[in-house]
Amino acid sequence: MMKKYTIKDIAELAGVSKGTVDRVLHKRGKVSDSALKKVNKVLEEIEYKPNPIAKSLKNNKVYKVCILFPQSTQDSFWTPCISAVEEIENNYQAFGIAIEQHRYDSNSPSSFLDQANSIISTKPNALLMAPLFYKEAQEVKKNCLEKEIIISTFNNMIDKNSLSNYIGQDLFQSGRIAAKLLDSLTNSGHMLIVHIDEQVQNATHMQEKEKGFKKYFEEKKESHYKVSTISINKEQATNYAAHLQQYFNSNSDINGVFVTTSKTYIVAKFNKENYKKLKIVGYDLVEKNIDYLQQGSIDFLINQNPKKQAFQGLSNLAEHLLFGKEIPKAMLLPIDIINSENYKEYLE
């Protein structure tokens, strides 16, 4: 409950003026040797931390932070990001942070680019985005740098040297986790990786997961494991069940399936209605997946936690703008393993 040391205190202790202390602290020069020594002596004895509240008091402006991610009508994976925005607004609105939410069509690179450029033209202080399209994201990044808009990305990385304040998960490791889970669920040795219904833009995503998955089984020494991969794209989407049935008929030794996207429910539905022998591990707490998780048709889900990603990203930006905190170059969030009993707490 003691008092905090302020510049004024230091000035009094050193027998100089506030201005002089300020010049010493900020190394602006124009200080006599004798004054410098006096101030430094005091600074050594006490521990001075500038008050960030007072610092930011002068900023009577509203910082505009924009967030850009896909529409959730197309993929409910993104829905939780909305509540992240709401929470951040509650926390930081009074401090002068205004969040603007923008969405784009996850099937249209040009929609992403248009939205991003329209945001940039309004000159926000910072932009947090989930960039599905690599090439377009590069351009957006360039435009932001030009206009001195701070840029952060979440869920999808746009450069490996992390120059864009990435918040997300280690996708390779995430594939390993899926492998370990299926390994503990099954005893047979034939696993299937299923890529469902995603566009080219997510290729890196799925590839990383696949690599991690395979790596796990390669490392297992007593390895009698076999890993196969199939991709199902939109064109075949009219009849998933027939497609899957056909595949499993000729590969009846498979009993573990790793679905690399949030469309896990498609395989779960097939398994529940037709096949009934698969152990399934997939991604994300979307409604349909949770249904099958509760019914026991999906064994585990891996939570990519889009809400936490967005929340962290916005937090980092707000704290930086308000209090000058450094933005971490890369934050790898934990990868949550979800089963029918612990999903609830992760939903909110």
Partner DNA sequence: TTGTACGCGTTATCAC
Partner DNA sequence: GTGATAACGCGTACAA
Among 32, 45, 54, 287, binds its own copies (CB under 8 A): 54
- Residue 264 in tokens: 């896990």
165-181: b (≥16 Cβ within 10 Å) or e: bbbbbebebbbbbbbbb
Residue 180, CA atoms < 13 Å, CB-side half-sphere: 9
For residue 67, give the H/E element and its range: strand 63-70
Among 12, 13, 22, 105, binds DNA (CB under 7 A): 22
Task: Give me the least distance between CB of 45 and DNA, in Å please.
Answer: 16
Task: Work out whether 320 is an interface residue with DNA (CB under 7 A).
Answer: no
Beta carbons of 71 and 103 less than 8 angstroms apart: yes
Residue with tokens 């704290």: 319
Listed residue (333, 221, 209) closest to 281, CA to CA: 209
Task: Work out whether 96 is an interface residue with its own copies (CB under 8 A).
Answer: yes
Task: Work out whether 93 is an interface residue with its own copies (CB under 8 A).
Answer: yes
Task: Give me the least distance between CB of 283 and its own copies, in Å please.
Answer: 14
Binds 330, which of DNA, its own copies, none (CB < 5 to 8 A, cut-off by type)?
none
Task: Work out whether 277 is an interface residue with its own copies (CB under 8 A).
Answer: no
Give the SS3 label for residue 190: strand
CA distance 319 to 337: 30
Question: Which lies closer to DNA via its Cβ, residue 4 or residue 276?
Answer: 4
CA distances (Å), origin 270, targets 75, 139, 274: 20, 41, 6
Looking at the DSSP bridge assignments, the partners of residue 67 are 101, 128
What's the chain's length in residues?
348
Task: Work out whether 27 is an interface residue with DNA (CB under 7 A).
Answer: no
- Pattern 220-259, binding to its own copies, x per CB under 8 A? ----------------------------------------
Task: Work out whether 184 is an interface residue with its own copies (CB under 8 A).
Answer: yes
Ranges within 128-147 binding its own copies (CB under 8 A): none
Ranges within 304-343 binding its own copies (CB under 8 A): 332-342
Task: Work out whether 284 is an interface residue with its own copies (CB under 8 A).
Answer: no
Looking at the DSSP bridge assignments, the partners of residue 151 are 127
Beta carbons of 78 and 307 less than 8 angstroms apart: no
Task: Work out whether 325 is an interface residue with DNA (CB under 7 A).
Answer: no
Task: Report CA dihedral (78, 79, 83, 86) to the nearest 10 degrees.
Answer: 80
- Pattern 107-136, binding to DNA, x per CB under 7 A? ------------------------------
Among 28, 123, 277, 329, binds its own copies (CB under 8 A): 123
Among 18, 25, 87, 95, binds its own copies (CB under 8 A): 95
Task: Work out whether 345 is an interface residue with its own copies (CB under 8 A).
Answer: yes
Looking at the DSSP bridge assignments, the partners of residue 193 are 229, 258
Question: Which lies closer to its own copies via its Cβ, residue 120 or residue 232?
Answer: 120
Tell me whether residue 83 is exposed, middle or buried, using C-beta atoms within 10 angstroms of its C-beta: 0 to 12, 13 to 18, 19 or more: middle
Binds 7, which of its own copies, DNA, none (CB < 5 to 8 A, cut-off by type)?
DNA
Listed residue (299, 302, 298) closest to 284, CA to CA: 302
Q: Which residues bind its own copies (CB under 8 A)?
A: 1-4, 6, 49-54, 56-57, 60-64, 93-96, 123, 125, 170, 173, 176-177, 179-181, 184-185, 216, 299, 332-342, 345-346
Q: Which residues bind DNA (CB under 7 A)?
A: 3-4, 6-8, 16-20, 22-23, 25-26, 29-32, 34-36, 49-51, 54-55, 57-58, 60
